[in-house]
Structure 1
Amino acid sequence: DVGTVQDAMRHGALQYLVKPFTYAGLRSKLEAYAALRHTLDGGGQAEQAQVDRLFGALWAASEPDLPKGHSPTTAELVRQALRDADGPLSAQEIAESAGMSRQTAQRYLKLLERTGKVRLTLRYGETGRPEHRYTWA
């Protein structure tokens, strides 16, 4: 109930999950808290932009609704492939790891990049288009 949530906030709770909750929701909140702790453990002087970013990460919606035609299960497969990787991966490598087509992987990678969960870098070769490489942000 609302009173319980208010009590938790008065006693220092930074986030609160209401049952039933999804694994993705729990994981998102734990990752946001881990990022906060990692940044705060560094010490030093804080800048306003850094503080705003930290609090924004804590208070952001745990998992945005996926657009029509996107599956939470497929999104999790792409996330897991990126989290398990030792370095940047191409869409083809992610597709092979997750067991899906390259086009499907690209569609989910684009969504995850727009929401700030994935970082895109370009690798330039001798000729042709640069290769898109993805890492978990």
Structure 2
Amino acid sequence: MDSDAALQDWQHVHNVIVPPAAMSIEEARERAELYHLEVAYLEDVLVGCSTVRPPTDDAPDVTVIARVLPAHRRQGFGEELYARGLERAREFGADVIETVVLASNEDGLRFAQKHGFVEFERYVLPGDTVPWITLRLA
């Protein structure tokens, strides 16, 4: 992230799309140190964000997550965020690419499936009631 304002925008989109995993600005800063984060704007209007988690020794797969605010869906922003995320994943040398979607995010699930992702795993985090779905690019 190139500015605190951009990080705050990333945090806002993340928290709107995945409220059960809402995070503080400090948690977002920690993410920015570990992952590649981007925000997307239409002129000066915030429309979405993305996260690319690089491979680690414990998790060799690369995770690409694109999030678009509801008012800006079906306008191509998800496509652009996703394409940029895939490009970054390939730069990381990804053999397997995953995404993670909250089960209640039906638009996100449809988008992932439309782009060739298939469900790999469902899980519920402690204290949560809505499952997370891990999907892998087929």
TM-score range, shorter chain: under 0.3
TM-score when normalising by structure 2 = 0.27
TM-score when normalising by structure 1 = 0.27
Bigger share in strand: 2
